[in-house]
Amino acid sequence: MKNLILKILGGISLTSVLFVFQACYGTPQDMEQDNQFEGVVKSKASGNVIKGIKVKTNFEGRQVYTNESGEFNIFLPLADQYKLTFEDADSTLNGSFASYDTVITDVPGYVRLDILLQPK
Amino acid sequence: MTRSIARFLFRRFRKLETDVHPLNYLFWECTTCCNLSCLHCGSDCSMNSQMPDMPLPDFLGAIDTIKSKSLITVVLTGGEPLLRRDLEECGRQIRKRGMRWGMVSNGYLYNEERHNALLGAGMGALTISLDGLEVSHNWLRNTAGSFDRAVQAITLAASSSRLNFDVVTCVNPRNIGELDEIYDLLLSRRVKAWRLFTIAPIGRAESNRELLLTGDSFRQLMEFIAEKRTLKQMDVKFSCESYTGPYETRVCDGYFFCRAGINIGSILADGSISACPNIDHSFVQGNIYRDNFFDVWQHRYGDFRNRQWARRGKCADCKEFKDCLGNGLHLWHGDKENVLVCYNDYLQKN
């Protein structure tokens, strides 16, 4: 009930800034939408996770590498279509794998990907 | 008449908001190390800080006590957050918990690679400091070349449509004559939002009176902001640091409301639980290494949520206390016998 009264009072006494405020020495608040892509990269032959795989996106400069557990996680701005490319970036250090592309459309906010890379 | 009604409703809103005190803004002082040594630093941070950075799991353990996280923005501050090597992992873990995150930076280490890495880790808000044109910025930041680095960082950040980004400027006697040129510079870099501060006599600025604005120059600042706001080219505003009397709503989006301890909490580098990081340490409400963070948020913070104790010193008989409530809480230090700054007082006397 108090929350409802707060919204009504806030709305008629001034503006929505009453709810979207900014602390003196802080940043603006973040209310924007974006999409999260996360998953794990494994060898198609052995099923083992692969670390050090570069996950490139169709947003310039936006890329991550898989960690020790073969996992990756990246946030990207809203778009109609996403292209993710998985590249073996460390030569033969963790095996040698062929690159793989995937195109994703209609992203609902979060996408989980399990990627299998073919050994060369 | 309309203004009186708006004021009345706003006071009601503020009272209810205080009663409910929803946490939706959480500072994390993730490091006290800093690569600059600014003359006005409120935290007295430096490269030689002896305090170790709080380990990420300690911070996560504290925020995991919060029941409803979806409307909270975590703001990483310092020191300089970019000095934390696990900054991107910190951000990812915060987003994983359904919270948003942002960072306050001096911009010196903010380059394209870091920009992309931080956006990829879900950073949604960023504030970078620019404290004047080249000479005055480098002087206040106490580092040659810091102006160029800050402008590069600002240009990069402003290029992102995803980021909620703004520039902050600490206005002082050396840069107040440069505000028009800074405004033009920011416009040329496509900056959409600019917040202007004064420097409070706390931290290193306590012993450096040449950093503080006088009554005349404060009015000049208010007039500058009010004029630029009418142009609607950029979202220019005075920070929420202080009650501005006759300039209320002309220099910012709403009435003054110090939300420290009402909507704003903090976890400081040593685990202390407080509100804005520049608030005096005597206001600390607990420590994450002893207390349940959310329990402290829900049940303590008495001096933050009932400001009647501030009716003392020059606030004792002030007719505007009901609107100001003793100004920003960061302006009460030491023995708390008097508020450190009252800009309304300056304006009335000038």
CA distance B99 to B91: 9
Q: What is the mean pLDDT of chain A?
A: 87
What is the arithmetic mean of pLDDT over B300-312? Answer: 97
Residue A7's pLDDT is: 61
Residue A17's pLDDT is: 46
- Report which of B71, B80, B129, B76 is spatially closest to residue B102, judged by C-alpha positions: B76
Q: What is the pLDDT of residues B98-141, one digit of tens each?
A: 999 999 999 999 999 999 999 999 999 999 999 999 999 999 99
A27 touches B at CB < 8 Å: yes
The answer to whether B79 touches B49, Cβ cutoff 8 Å, is yes
Residue B349's pLDDT is: 80
A63 touches B at CB < 8 Å: yes
3-state percent breakdown (helix, strand, coil) of chain B, nearest 5: 40, 15, 45
Residue A15's pLDDT is: 43
The answer to whether B293 touches B27, Cβ cutoff 8 Å, is no
DSSP annotation of B240: T
Bigger pLDDT: B73 vs A108? B73
Which of B7, B162, B168, B258 to mutate: most A Cβ within 10 Å?
Answer: B162
Residue in A27, A32, A64 closest to B103 by CB: A27
Q: What is the mean pLDDT of chain B?
A: 94
Q: State the burial class of residue B103 (Cβ atoms within 10 Å of its Cβ: 0-12, 13-18, 19+).
A: buried
Residue B25's pLDDT is: 96
Residue A113's pLDDT is: 96
Q: In which band, very low, low, confident or very high, does the pLDDT at B154 lie, cut at 50, 70 and 90?
A: very high
Which of B119, B234, B242, B278 to mutate: most A Cβ within 10 Å?
Answer: B119
Bigger pLDDT: B276 vs B36? B276
What is the arithmetic mean of pLDDT over B322-350? Answer: 92
Residue A2's pLDDT is: 63
* Chain A residues closer than 8 Å to B195 by CB: 22
Residue B41's pLDDT is: 77
DSSP H/E element including B344: helix B343-349
Q: Does the pLDDT at position A22 exceed 80?
A: no
- Choice among A6-20, B37-51, B174-188 with the minimum mean pLDDT: A6-20
Residue in B6, B20, B161 closest to A6 by CB: B20
For B120, B164, B173, B298, B337, the CA distances from B112, given in Å and listed in that order, are 12, 17, 33, 40, 48
Are residues A26 and B127, on separate chains, in Cβ contact within 8 Å?
yes
Residue A24's pLDDT is: 77
Q: In which band, very low, low, confident or very high, does the pLDDT at B202 lie, cut at 50, 70 and 90?
A: confident
Tokens standing for residue B4: 């009186």
Strand bridging mode A71-77 / A34-43: antiparallel
- Choice among A65-74, B27-36, B163-172, B208-217 with the minimum mean pLDDT: B208-217
A24 touches B at CB < 8 Å: yes
Q: Does the pLDDT at position B42 exceed 80?
A: no
Residue A16's pLDDT is: 42
Alpha helices in B127-214 (DSSP H): 134-141, 146-158, 179-188
Bigger pLDDT: A10 vs B206? B206
Tokens standing for residue A28: 């603006």
Residue A86, C-beta contacts closer than 8 angstroms, at least 6 positions apart: A41, A53, A54, A55, A56, A99, A100, A101, A102, A115, A117
